[in-house]
Chain A
Amino acid sequence: MRRHLQWSIKQLTSSYADGQLSPRRVAEQALEDAVNLKTLNALVRLTPEEARQQALESEQRYQKKQPNSSLDGVTIAIKDNFCTKNVHTTCASRMLQDFVPPYDATVCSRLRQAGAVLLGKTNMDQFAMGAGTVDSIYGPTKNIWSEDLTENNWRIAGGSSGGSASAVAAGLCFAGIGSDTGGSTRNPASYCGVVGLKPTYGLVSRHGLIPLVNSMDVPGIFARSVSDCVEVLNAVAGPDGKDSTTIRQPFTKLQLPELDAIGLGAVRIGIPKEYHCNGLSAEVLETWTKVADLLECAGASVQQVSLPNTAASIFVYSILNQCEVASNMARYDGIEYGHRAADERSTEQLYAQSRAEGFNNVVKTRILTGNFLLLRKNYDHYFEKALRVRRLIAEDFAKVFEASSKEDRVDILLTPTTLTEAPLYNDFSSLSNRDQCAVQDFCTQPANMAGIPAVSIPIRLSKAGLPLSLQLMSRSLNEQLLLSVARWIEAQVAFDSLDHRLEQKLSL
């Protein structure tokens, strides 16, 4: 393994600054590693030309001692549902297999401006509909922590942003961009043993992110440490005139306190009892308890809280998701862009055939269900009701974060991210997409309902040698405290994201 991969982004860029390492070398090695690790199927498309050009320019800026930002020369990978100018953006679907966007998503252009080096586009479930990165026209992404990568015995990376999680976990790049609608960043982060951040809704622009559920989608960030995550967030967050749902107030870059300056004395941690749910593995529960104890021992107040509407969340999510999917997918008719079938007997026939060929069954099922739920006669009963329950779920969070009495108020919620370690592909793929998502999103999607920030951090390895992670949530725009606490936990548990002995496994 290359030595610099163990470094933080800060260490990497200071080595650029003092000439110890060069962005070009790091980029070259990353491209080389990406080819060597093709078996993971993390990247669906490498962008060697972009990477080399950007690395060269970065190197020149360092030579002039004028780096663009603290991300200059840092290799990143971007999920294939973010538009990248002149680079294919497929959503891992046949529908967009040949789609080359004429513009950069705001996240991409901000990273470009910061000097980051784009390694390539990463694998995902088709149109981000999934929790495993198994429904992709490019095939599934494998979890680097799998005991066995060869046969069908390997573990899933989680999803839908499994490609980015996998790329960061494998050390192909320092950070990855994913999207998070119901847990699509935190879920694979949890399985792959990396940090996965879902920022507050509206903090990071969705312009150029091909939507799944507009009212819940948030660009997510993968990194191997909380601090690295903050570096990326600082580069991409803030208001964007091209996305009317971004929060208007200017973004102040986060600066986490030094480790020894993080005091937990004033921090109130809530343990929501509803997250102790069916299917929660003993190992995850044990991990959860341990970290709660750890926090309490360090002086934080830890108390049980209740979020009574949690169990309804999965149903509400399912309805809103399918309705917005039905609407968002209406544009794919083969006229302006995207897959166009050969059948041109009539416009209707062309639509029908293009859509039949371009979408997989998961997408089609959601479109049909969503359109059914949106019919005039069903709207109030499903969509409208789901919106009302969604408000109740958001109010649950508001009650614990903003309770009037200080005793009842908490700053941070500590929960599992996923209920188990990464499942085996064979086990996972035997379930329907609906069950896959319903189980795997249980702890993650309430945060999307409420728009609040949440982060998944790896804690320890399971008996099988797979990462076990926990999730922290806080109130909107409270990333500073959320990530400070995450960083404190990270330091205590000292999880090594790269300790998967990959070389060993590959040589076996």
Chain B
Amino acid sequence: MNYLIVRRLSTQLKLAQIPNRKWKSVVGLEVHAQISSASKLFSGSGTSFGAALNTSVAYFDASIPGTLPVLNRKCVESGIKTALALGCQVNEVSMFDRKHYFYADLPNGYQITQQRAALANNGKMSFPVITPGKKVYYKSVQLLQLQLEQDSGKSLHDEHLKRSLVDLNRAGLPLMELVFAPDLETGEEAASLVKELMLILRRLQTCSCKMEEGALRVDANISIHQEGDPLGVRTEVKNIGSVRSISQAITYEIHRQLDTVAEGGLITNETRSWDAENRRTVAMRDKEVLQDYRFMPEPNLPPLHLNLKPGSQSTEELVSVAALSEEIPELPEDTRQRLVEQYQLNAETAIILVNEPILLEYFVNITRDLSAVPTKVTSNFLINDLLTYCHKSNLNVEDCSITANDLKSIVKGLHTEQINLQAARQLIQLLHTSPTAKVKELIEQHSLEQICDLETIEAYCQQAIANQPKAVQQYHKGKAKALFAIVGEVAKISGQKANMKSVVACLERMLKATKK
């Protein structure tokens, strides 16, 4: 008895010795990616998004008695390619299972998935984490499992007529479920992981990754604990509709849990839904009773055997993993390294270009066709000017109506000093608002041509020096930065058209002369 008390006291003492231990957040993701495929996972019906309700439904998808699943080989191949690209170990034999639950949009009363033996395990992903205002860093996450499974249909609830309607177009669509280890800490890391995953899947063409169409769905498991303690109780956040929401939802949920604990509350194991409009997670009311899915092997599908032998070829009977590995294109991280090596770009530039596939495409095109232009001129223009413009205008780069050729003309103009940066920026805006216009015509129309004539520039400089006596004075006193004020004056006088390089040289020369 005494001993116990002492023990307890000593433990409490220990705890007290570590005041304000740091709270840590732990985040794990589960991603459902619809496999791009002409037909469903186990039936021959079509998969196009937005087809008229209940028109892409084979008898099997509607669970008509007597119908049987037939595994779509294309989906298996896409799953394998994805697994290989994510460094997984592809399993020689995988199996399908039935997961039972009753829901109106689940016609069979069970989902066919892979519970006991998945297609692939033990992958790893390394990806850059981009947090606004912070230095980019790399994070690694383990991919525990990649499995194939069917999607469910969709229930539509008509509150007015008090009835539910079911659309089975989605029922049976092929999904890859990717289960990641809880190796992440923040919303930004989670969003960056998904961003990288999307880049990879798009390269592989195994998923369209259109979150707005539900082609990629992300569920996040979140918990908090104090350093040194075991993991806390986790909540699951569903219904996250965009990459940006991933970061927001997780950040919100971490803070909600921290606040709850700070107020002396308890975190309960529950499923919460992201409310994008009000920017908060809310507890989902339904099915929080403990579900027992009564898993059972799917008896209508024989085990899926794959050929793992190096150098093997696929046959009608057996898919060769080695043959598929030959089809894997360059992956985003390889591209980044190649950009750094081949084009002497810095790592951050490479990350930005790769993360915006269209920018990368422009970059590669322009540098290929304009070999005289330093790659930096091109990458700087694309990132600092084009991308910034798009961000400011709330525009996807893909949706900006400037063509690759327009961009090439602008970069060329920059390089030959026909136009300056100000003009280039103006051109982006003009081209976006009137997409049919030609760069050359716009330069003439808006007289955007850069002024390089030395006499004109000298005249501008003279006037600027006269207009900025204070700055001149400071400059002479040794404050070199004061020159910018005078340069700015020239820019103003010339209508932003003077060649700034020439202006600086001219000013320096003239100021040196007047100092005497």
Chain A's closest residue to B166 (CB) is A335
Interface contact B108-A330, CB-CB below 8 Å? yes
Interface contact A83-B66, CB-CB below 8 Å? yes
- Collect the chain B residues with CB atoms within 8 Å of residue A379's CB: 294-295
B60-79 interface mask toward A, CB cutoff 8 Å, 1 = contact, 0 = none?
A: 00111111111100000000
Chain A's closest residue to B102 (CB) is A351
Tell me whether B234 is interfacial, beta carbon within 8 Å: no
Interface contact B164-A331, CB-CB below 8 Å? no
Q: In chain A between 434 and 486, which residues have their CB closer than 8 angstroms to a CB of chain B?
A: none
Which of A83, A327, A347 neighbours the largest number of chain B CB atoms within 10 Å of its CB? A327
- Collect the chain A residues with CB atoms within 8 Å of residue B300's CB: 214, 243-245
Interface contact B66-A323, CB-CB below 8 Å? no
**CB < 8 Å: which of A207, A215, A347, A375 contacts B294?**
A375
Tell me whether A220 is interfacial, beta carbon within 8 Å: no
- Collect the chain A residues with CB atoms within 8 Å of residue B274's CB: none
Interface contact B70-A347, CB-CB below 8 Å? no
Tell me whether A333 is interfacial, beta carbon within 8 Å: yes
Interface contact B65-A99, CB-CB below 8 Å? yes
Chain A's closest residue to B100 (CB) is A330
Tell me whether B329 is interfacial, beta carbon within 8 Å: no
- Collect the chain B residues with CB atoms within 8 Å of residue A206's CB: 68
Chain B's closest residue to A216 (CB) is B299
Tell me whether A238 is interfacial, beta carbon within 8 Å: no
Tell me whether A209 is interfacial, beta carbon within 8 Å: yes
With both chains docked as a complex, state the minimum distance between the C-beta of A173 and any C-beta of chain B, in angstroms: 22
**CB < 8 Å: which of B59, B67, B70, B294 contacts A371?**
B294
- Collect the chain A residues with CB atoms within 8 Å of residue B104's CB: 333, 335, 347
Tell me whether B158 is interfacial, beta carbon within 8 Å: no
Tell me whether A279 is interfacial, beta carbon within 8 Å: no
Interface-forming stretch among A100-108, A135-143, A487-495? A100-108
Tell me whether A383 is interfacial, beta carbon within 8 Å: yes
Q: In chain A between 265 and 324, which residues have their CB closer than 8 angstroms to a CB of chain B?
A: 323-324
Which of B63, B64, B66, B164 neighbours the largest number of chain A CB atoms within 10 Å of its CB? B66
Within the assembled complex, what's the spacing in Å between the Cα atoms of A80 and B70?
24
B376-411 interface mask toward A, CB cutoff 8 Å, 1 = contact, 0 = none?
A: 000000000000000000000000000000000000
Tell me whether B441 is interfacial, beta carbon within 8 Å: no
Within the assembled complex, what's the spacing in Å between the Cα atoms of A335 and B295?
23
Tell me whether B362 is interfacial, beta carbon within 8 Å: no
Within the assembled complex, what's the spacing in Å between the Cα atoms of A32 and B69?
40
**CB < 8 Å: which of B68, B110, B164, B292 contacts A327?**
B110
- Collect the chain A residues with CB atoms within 8 Å of residue B59's CB: 102-103
- Collect the chain A residues with CB atoms within 8 Å of residue B108's CB: 330-331
Interface contact B294-A208, CB-CB below 8 Å? no
Tell me whether A34 is interfacial, beta carbon within 8 Å: no
Within the assembled complex, what's the spacing in Å between the Cα atoms of A323 and B166?
28
Interface contact A210-B65, CB-CB below 8 Å? yes
Count A-side interface residues using an 8 Å CB cutoff: 45
Interface contact A336-B64, CB-CB below 8 Å? yes
Interface contact B62-A241, CB-CB below 8 Å? no
Within the assembled complex, what's the spacing in Å between the Cα atoms of A360 and B120?
43
Tell me whether B288 is interfacial, beta carbon within 8 Å: no
- Collect the chain B residues with CB atoms within 8 Å of residue A406's CB: none
Known A241-B70, A374-B294, A376-B292; judge A331-B65 contact (CB<8 A). Answer: yes
- Collect the chain B residues with CB atoms within 8 Å of residue A414's CB: none
Within the assembled complex, what's the spacing in Å between the Cα atoms of A211 and B107?
16
Interface contact B109-A330, CB-CB below 8 Å? yes
Within the assembled complex, what's the spacing in Å between the Cα atoms of A374 and B299?
15
Interface contact B68-A347, CB-CB below 8 Å? no
Within the assembled complex, what's the spacing in Å between the Cα atoms of A103 and B109?
22
Tell me whether A242 is interfacial, beta carbon within 8 Å: yes
- Collect the chain B residues with CB atoms within 8 Å of residue A251's CB: none
Known A347-B104, A375-B294; judge A214-B299 contact (CB<8 A). Answer: yes
- Collect the chain A residues with CB atoms within 8 Å of residue B292's CB: 375-376
Q: In chain B between 233 and 268, which residues have their CB closer than 8 angstroms to a CB of chain A?
A: none
Interface contact A244-B69, CB-CB below 8 Å? yes
Tell me whether A326 is interfacial, beta carbon within 8 Å: yes
Interface contact B69-A327, CB-CB below 8 Å? no
Within the assembled complex, what's the spacing in Å between the Cα atoms of A274 and B63?
41
With both chains docked as a complex, state the minimum distance between the C-beta of B166 and any C-beta of chain A, in angstroms: 7
Interface contact A242-B70, CB-CB below 8 Å? yes
Tell me whether A96 is interfacial, beta carbon within 8 Å: yes
- B binding-site residues for A, Cβ under 8 Å: 59, 62-71, 98, 100, 102, 104, 107-110, 164, 166, 292, 294-296, 299-302, 317
Residue pairs across A and B with Cβ atoms less than 8 A apart, 24 shown, are A83-B64, A102-B59, A103-B64, A207-B67, A207-B68, A211-B65, A242-B70, A243-B68, A243-B300, A324-B296, A324-B299, A326-B294, A327-B110, A327-B294, A327-B296, A329-B109, A331-B65, A333-B102, A337-B62, A351-B102, A371-B100, A374-B296, A375-B292, A376-B292
